[in-house]
Structure 1
Amino acid sequence: MPLSACGPRPRNANATRAAILEAAETRFARESYDEVGMRDIAADAGVDPALIVRYFGSKEGLFRAALESCQEGSTLLEGDRATFGTRIAHELVYGSARPRKMQGLQMILLSAASAKALEVVRASSKERFLDPFVDWIGGDDAMVRGRLAAAVMMGMKVSREVTGGLDLCEAHCKLLEQRLARSLQDIIDGA
């Protein structure tokens, strides 16, 4: 039986879930976990707040899903290992053509003061970023090198966010990119 033009709109669970997730990613990247309300996200997505619980279970579940959908950890392992430092340094210095690429880190930075959010961040980061990264690095001191590389990358990102950008001329951006690339590659290679 065909739907009439004035009948109810067909339901699309995947589209609804995606709209909620997108609204949550945007909110959590602009505001801390504690500041974001489920009603705000529902309004942004144009859905009833009950659907958030239906699809994600809770605000914590939604935060986890939003964080995991944005985490760029897996992209670190894409590409040639020999160009790791160059690829990551370029991303950190010049940013991304894809604005969502570093959104996960933004969520982490804004929500680190929340005990609930921090628990989610720790578990998700270990499972989806640190453990695979350390396995990819390999060797007896892989955890040390993984932690060191993560600290350098996060430090650079935090530095950019806190200061509102690099505020460097093009020549100094190139120099920063070169030195950062060399440092990251040395960490990965165990040099």
Structure 2
Amino acid sequence: MNQHVEAHTTGAHRVGRDADRTRAALIAAASERFARVGYAATTVREICADAGANVSLINRYFGSKAGLFERCLTDAIDQLTDNDDAPLVLHELPAALTRQITATTPPGATAQVLLLLLRSSDNVQAERARTRALHTIGDRLAGASTAPDARLRGQLLLAATIGITALRTTDLRPLADATPDALAAPMRDLITALLGPAKNNR
């Protein structure tokens, strides 16, 4: 009896781990395709082929393609804000955003996540999720400033960061080839100019 219960429990844990891996694979594959070609041009069959998963699992785990897109955006917020509710510190932002802009290691590279936020869609649920994600990240950036128009400044910094990331995918040089060291000083100047007085100088 105990052996049966133990075997059943072990099997359940294995199934749970397999499900977690499958969900993670679907999110990674979807994020890459949504970022590269956009929501409308991405099909669930392509995502599942990339992830090595059955098409029915998208509905099981995420409810729909739009639900999967929303989960990708939720993960994007976590990556871009370090999944941390602590206030952002102004003097730490240049290095943090530079790392995100120049991230190149898949899956889930932050540069890819930034491009995901740029892609609009004709799906109402997906577009609302994207707008919420943009507001959330912009507000997190704004939290590093005491300027009276901090929310606008945070959104401008987010727009600049996404634009820089997008242009680095082109042949625009030296931007496309700029290393983190080369970007550090200009990013510091940009962030200081946009966010203004620091809220915390730790």
**TM-score normalised to the size of structure 1?**
0.74
* Structure 1 residue 155 corresponds to structure 2 residue 163: yes
* Structure 1 residue 63 corresponds to structure 2 residue 69: yes
User: Aligned pair in 2 of structure 1 residues 173, 15: CA closer, same or farther (>3 Å)?
Assistant: closer
Amino acid paired to 1:21: I
Q: Please give the secondary structure, in 2, of the residue aligned with 1:115.
A: coil
Counterparts of 1:170 and 1:27, CA distance in 2 = 23
Partner of 1:185: 192
Partner of 2:80: 73
Counterparts of 2:163 and 2:89, CA distance in 1 = 24
Shift of 1:176: 5.7
User: Aligned pair in 2 of structure 1 residues 65, 35: CA closer, same or farther (>3 Å)?
Assistant: same
Shift of 1:168: 5.9
Paired residues of 2:30 and 2:68 also in contact (CA < 8 A)? yes
Counterparts of 1:46 and 1:57, CA distance in 2 = 19
Paired residues of 2:26 and 2:47 also in contact (CA < 8 A)? yes
Partner of 2:25: 19
The answer for unaligned runs of 5 or more in structure 2 is 9-13
* Aligned-residue identity in percent: 28
Paired residues of 1:88 and 1:181 also in contact (CA < 8 A)? no
Counterparts of 1:22 and 1:151, CA distance in 2 = 23
Note the alpha carbon deviations across 1:72-107, whole angstroms, 9 max, x for none: 430498875324235434654xx1264511111222
Q: Pick from 107, 113, 128: which aligns with 1:119?
A: 128
Partner of 1:142: 150
Q: Please give the secondary structure, in 2, of the residue aligned with 1:33.
A: coil
**TM-score normalised to the size of structure 2?**
0.70
Shift of 1:173: 8.8
Counterparts of 1:30 and 1:64, CA distance in 2 = 16
Amino acid paired to 2:94: G
* Structure 1 residue 85 corresponds to structure 2 residue 94: yes
Paired residues of 2:168 and 2:177 also in contact (CA < 8 A)? no
Note the alpha carbon deviations across 1:47-71, whole angstroms, 9 max, x for none: 2211110100010010111222234
Amino acid paired to 2:129: V
Counterparts of 1:97 and 1:40, CA distance in 2 = 22
Shift of 1:177: 4.3
Paired residues of 2:33 and 2:42 also in contact (CA < 8 A)? yes
How many pairs align?
179
The answer for unaligned runs of 5 or more in structure 1 is 4-9
